[in-house]
Amino acid sequence: MAVRFIDHRGTEVTLPDERAFAFRVQLGEIGPRTLVFDDGVRGWVRAESHPLYQRLAAAGAAGTDSPSTTAPDRAASPSTRRDSGPGHRVERGSAGSEEDLALDPFDTAMARAVRGDVEELRARPDPTSNVAEGPARAPRQSAAAPGPTPVRYSVRVRRLDRGRWTLWTAVAALAVALVVYLITAVGDGRPWPVGRRVAGETASRGGTSSSGGVVPSPAPPADPRVAVEADAMARGALHSLVDALPELRELVGLPPGPPEHWLEGHYLASAASYPGTLDYWDAFRALVRQLRSEEVPRFEAALDAAAAQSPLTPEQTRDARAEAERRLSESAQRRRAVYALMEELANAATDLHAVLLRIGDQIDYQPVQGPRVSVDPVLEAVPRTPAAEAEFAAALDRVLATLEAVNGLAPVTTEGLLDALARRLADTLPTHTALARGATPPA
């Protein structure tokens, strides 16, 4: 029996049978307040009033105690609201609201890591402390002026005034940690929302349903072959998502990297000369948002393909797929934290650019001259007033702290950022305990 419901974008979706309906409930895409068409009354009703949803709730099915996920993404672009499936072009734009999630230990650990990494970086010896002073700085001049090419460095934290920059670095680290917390705690109702207490999360930890009953934690598959096949299915589905990155990069038109000299002295003092900066980070943000929106269709397609090729019996294959779906649902909140961190980088970069455009006439470009002079290029941009310096430092240190959390302050390239995104997504799915015990995968 076909079942129709209204998804979080306000689009009517038709499911072929009750099993597909139960799967969407497990993922949290259908919640108690989702509108579902009831053939009995010939009209739209909330899912909690629909007989099929009530049967799933009575059986303790996944997701039946989760809030509705039908709220539209208010910050998404019009084209994204119309269609966010694979292959659909999305418009570049500013960041919108984030996921409505309950913070779990993974997110707390990430926030602490952001703050801890920055504190560790501040504690390292000052790389400029043993460098001899170079020749006096020349008057402000164009970046294209002839002379020896300065040494290029990856991004580093500013250390002109240790006391002042220590304070701003700590503030930036705390700001990044707070943003990660808020983004993963308050969101916009995307698919796979385990933070809304779908059964993937509730069942794995044990909990209480909305009706007051205790939801039991599911036992792992008794057959190790089923457990190993489920692990392979879940990882294959996650890899199918990561494999979409090159396609999505082409779709949003993401260049090989930010404009040359981004975060160097000349850019920081003359941001108006680098209009491509906003285009780059808008495209990067669009890629992250599009990847997140394609989780459900890509996961379902990958699981269908894996089940069709499974060497197990039909019953074992069905159990393996159900376990794979549960594991993907459980790991969804960790994926949210990864998306949130990547979007925070794009937001921090665009906010820095806006600050530089606003106070650009109060920043001098003072390049260091002479051969073999080691200097952080960031220090070549010198604000003239304390107020401009404070605003400049806060925006810059927020970018630096987020960059270090994303990729360890490595040189910023699209390839490096997408590699970091892929690694972090892969790490959200722990190896199943059956594999840790050395179980042999199905032949």
Residue 46: per-residue pLDDT: 85
Residue 223: Cβ-neighbour burial (10 angstroms; 0-12, 13-18, 19+): middle
**What average pLDDT does the segment 23-43 reach?**
81
pLDDT of residue 168: 53
Q: And the tokens for 64? A: 């039946």
In 3-state terms, what secondary structure has residue 213?
coil
What is the overall mean pLDDT for the chain?
71
Other Cβ atoms within 10 Å of 51 Cβ, number: 12
Please state, as a whole number, how many other Cβ atoms lie within 10 Å of the Cβ of residue 34: 25
Which H, E and C letters describe 68-87, residue by residue?
CCCCCCCCCCHHHHHCCCCC
Q: Is the pLDDT of residue 339 over 50?
A: yes
Local confidence band at 177 (pLDDT 50, 70, 90 cut-offs)? low
Average pLDDT over residues 288-305: 95
CB 233 within 8 A of CB 306: yes
Other CB atoms within a 10 A radius of the CB of residue 245 amount to: 18
d(CA 432, CA 414): 32
- Asked whether the predicted pLDDT for residue 297 surpasses 60, the reply is yes
Identity of residue 321: R
pLDDT at 91 over 80: no
Q: Does residue 372 have a pLDDT over 80?
A: no
Q: Which long-range contacts (CB under 8 A, 24 or more apart) does 311-314 make?
A: 311/442, 311/443, 312/225, 312/226, 312/229, 312/442
215 forms beta bridges with 207
Contact 344, 176 (CB under 8 A): yes
Q: DSSP letters of 41-62?
A: TTEEEEGGGSHHHHHHHHTT-T
**In the structure, what pLDDT confidence band is assigned to residue 331 with cuts at 50, 70 and 90?**
very high
Residues 288 and 339: beta-carbon distance below 8 Å: yes
From first CA to last CA, the distance across the chain in angstroms is 36
Q: Cβ contacts of residue 292 below 8 Å, gap of 6+?
A: 190, 335, 339
Query: Long-range contacts made by residues 406-415, C-beta under 8 angstroms, separation at least 24?
Result: 406/341, 406/342, 406/345, 409/121, 409/154, 409/155, 409/156, 410/154, 411/154, 411/155, 412/155, 412/257, 412/258, 412/262, 412/263, 413/256, 413/257, 414/249, 414/254, 414/255, 414/256, 414/257, 414/284, 415/256
Residue 142 pLDDT? 39
DSSP letters, 252-309, are: HT--SSSPTTTTSHHHHH-GGG-THHHHHHHHHHHHHHHHHHTHHHHHHHHHHHHHHT
Taking the C-alpha atoms of residue 138 and residue 86, their distance in angstroms, rounded to an integer, is 53
CA 408 – CA 284 distance, rounded (Å): 18
Average pLDDT over residues 395-406: 93
- Rounded to whole angstroms, the Cα distance separating 156 from 167 reads 16
The 3-class secondary structure across 8-30, one letter per residue, is CCCCEEEECCHHHHHHHHHHCCC
**Residues in CB range of 193: below 8 A, 6 or more apart:** 27, 28, 29, 66, 69, 99, 100, 101, 187, 332
pLDDT at 413 over 60: yes
Tokens of residue 95, six digits: 């960041």
Assess whether pLDDT exceeds 90 at residue 309: yes
Percent of the chain's residues with pLDDT above 90: 40
